[in-house]
Structure 1
Amino acid sequence: MNKITIAIDGFSSTGKSTVAKQIAKHLGYVYVDSGAMYRAVTLYAMQKGLISKSDFNIEALIYQLPSINISFKFNKSLGFAEVYLNDVNVEKEIRTLEVSSFVSKVAEVSEVRQKLVEQQQKMGKDKGVVMDGRDIGTVVFPDAELKLFMTASAETRAKRRYEELVERGDAVNFEQVLKNVKERDYIDSNREDSPLIKAKDAIEVDNSNMTLKEQFDKIIQLVKMTIEDCE
């Protein structure tokens, strides 16, 4: 069976990573969470005091980019690869609301995007990969055989994100999460370098009223049809 590249783009908290992991596991493909890579760079910037609510030292971050090493290591007990920043597991640290509040600003920096896109393209050079993010179908893999664009209402996405953070034990309120979702939507869609847009040949999937099973069944059917067309 021919292996294909599956590019999944969309707004924050649309469940891109969840379905990408499901699809990759089902097909035996490599899964890459590109958003986690931007979160790791953001965490680095926070740790080094390069970004705060009042300041962002972009020049210093660009200068330190060669010192940032991001890798994925598969965790058998979890069933997916965790993110490592300079050989330190940061899977939990990069998922906080604080990182979420800064990540879109970091992702706006062209030099950051260039560094990570190069790494992402190397990860997918042999196909058999499922990657999700904001510019996978438009910039990273413009020739991907299957492109999906995930969407849902801001309120639906905020509710999902809120429940996820509360379950983790984070002290957040819904309005705070909704505000963050809307702010990220605006920044992601309006940045100059690789803005979040739906690729012309992408299939839109609105999962506002879908269960995880319904979403998986719909997408796996699209995958099967695409693989058949490539044979």
Structure 2
Amino acid sequence: MTETTYPPLDVPKPVAPDLWIVDSGPMRAMGVIPIPVRMTVIRLGNGELLLHSPTRHTAGLQAALEGFGPIRHFVAPNVVHWTFLKEWQGRLPEAVTWAAPGLRQRGAVKRSGVRLDRDLQDGPLPGWPEELDRITVRGGGGFCEVALFHRPGRALILVDLVQNFEPGKLPLPLRPFARAAGIVAPDGKAPAYLRAIVKMGGRKAREAGRRLVETDPERVIFAHGRWFDHDAGARLGRSLRWLTQ
């Protein structure tokens, strides 16, 4: 059986000082396609932890993370990556949940009962960690993804704007589709449907894409597939060429 995920699952894995990833899944895209999913964990200068795009909660994972510091922030960075928030909020009600602009207006979010405390609007945000820069990419149909740049670790943190699936980890019938969509390693990109949606954002979307590339990261972490752990700046530039040019 093809292993679509990146085990070990639901455990923190160190990436750089004060930076971890948690691989999880598989999730079912469109209800049927198994794909891996990833959370990024950042320890802030004050010792608190921020969980970006939380994956499923387990007691063991929470305990492991709390060994690094108290969990005080959750980030829901786009319209898809919020579905596990309620599990974490129920166990850590004091943590602040930051949400992509427009997320709270979506019907599925309202019906879920998930709590969204603060919107990640442009400009200064009281209480936002000073070591994290935000770059917001807006497209059509209400799409919005808030990318984070962790300056101390020179890490760019995305969710769906880059997807980089390894063909050998996909079910055989899906491999031709993934190649046609351009989302396969070594330098995958957003799937065709998402590229079309983001490009509807026009000049502002292109400018945001260029800002992502200009961060010149040493690593690029995203939710689905093999993240860029080397030659990250160059690979990001190739991956986002559809947006920046």
Q: Please say whether Structure 1 and Structure 2 have the same fold, judged by a TM-score greater than 0.5.
A: no
Which structure dedicates a bigger proportion of its chain to helix?
Answer: 1
Tell me the TM-score normalized by structure 2. 0.30
Which structure dedicates a bigger proportion of its chain to strand?
Answer: 2
Tell me the TM-score normalized by structure 1. 0.32
